[in-house]
A = this chain, B = another copy of it.
Amino acid sequence: MATKKNIKISCAFCASKKDSLFSDLNKDDLESLDIHKSCIMYKKGQTLYYEGTRPMGLFCLNSGKVKVYKITSDGKEQILNLAKAGDFIGYRALISEEFYNASATVIEEGAICYIPKADFLSILNNNPRFFKRMMQRLCDDLGIMEQKLVTIAQKSVRERLAATLLMLKESYGLEGEENSTLIDIALSREDLANIIGTATETVIRLLSEFKNQELISLQGKKIKVLDPQGLVKEADFYGI
C-alpha cells in the first residue's frame, strides 16, 4: 500500500466550507481546526469507518462522495445518507459519545479531512452559536429521516425510485441541453436499490420502464432526467 500523502487544506480557505456547518465559525476557531487536522485522498471503495467502532474524530469532505449505510443481520445494505463536498459525517456518534451505528464508504474519490474528536468537541462546547447550529442540524436530519421512513413504509418501489431520482437531481444535478439534467454521482444500480430498499433487478427494470416512458435516459451508469414533471407524477409527491 502506498504511503498516504497528507494534503494541506486550510479550513479557513476551504471552498467546500461555504455551505457547511463550519461556515460561520470565526477565524480563531477555523485556525484551531487546522492544527491537528489531517487531510488525505481516498479512493473509491475505501471505508472511512465501520458500524460498531468508536469515533475518534469528524470526517469532512473537501471533495468526493461517500455513502453512509447499515448492514442488516442477513447481510443486506441500507443506505441512510449520501455525502458530498462540504458535508460532515459521523457527527452524531461523536456528539453522543457512542459507537458508530453505520458505516461510511467512499463512492467517488476525493480529499477528506479528519478533525480529532477533542478539537471538534472543544469548539462545540465553547461556541454556543456552533452548538446551536449543530442542534439545528440534528433536528433537520431527524425530519429528513422521518420523511424517508414514511416514504419507504407507504410508497411502492416505483414511487420511491421516482422520488429518489428527483432527490438525486436536486443534490447532484448538472444542467444539460434541452432541459435535461445529468445526475452526476457514480451510483451503481445496486446502490440505488439499497437507497430505496428493493432488489437490484427491480431498479434496473423500473429504470428501463422510465426510459421507455422518456422520463429519463441512460448512458451506461449515469442517468439523465428528461422529464422531471413526469417523475413527480410517478412519485406522487416530492422528496424522499
A: residues with CB less than 8 A from B are: 70, 72-74, 76, 78, 80, 92, 95-96, 98, 101-102, 131, 134-136, 138-143, 145-150, 152-155, 196-197, 236-237
Chain B residue with Cβ nearest A136: B96
For the complex of A and B, list the 4 residue pairs with the smallest distance between their C-beta atoms, beginning with the closest: A153-B197, A96-B139, A138-B138, A145-B145
Whether B72 contacts A154 by the Cβ 8 Å rule is: yes
| From A73, A145, A153, A236, residue with most partner B Cβ within 10 Å | A153
CB of A82, distance to nearest CB on chain B (Å): 14
Majority SS of interface residues in chain A?
Answer: helix
Q: Which of B96, B102, B146 contacts A70 (CB 8 A)?
A: B146
Whether A142 contacts B143 by the Cβ 8 Å rule is: no
Bound CA span A236–B80, Å: 21
Bound CA span A85–B192, Å: 41
Bound CA span A142–B152, Å: 16
Sample of 11 more A-B contacts, CB < 8 Å, known A78-B154, A131-B135, A152-B197: A72-B154, A72-B155, A74-B154, A78-B149, A92-B143, A96-B143, A98-B143, A102-B146, A138-B138, A141-B142, A149-B152
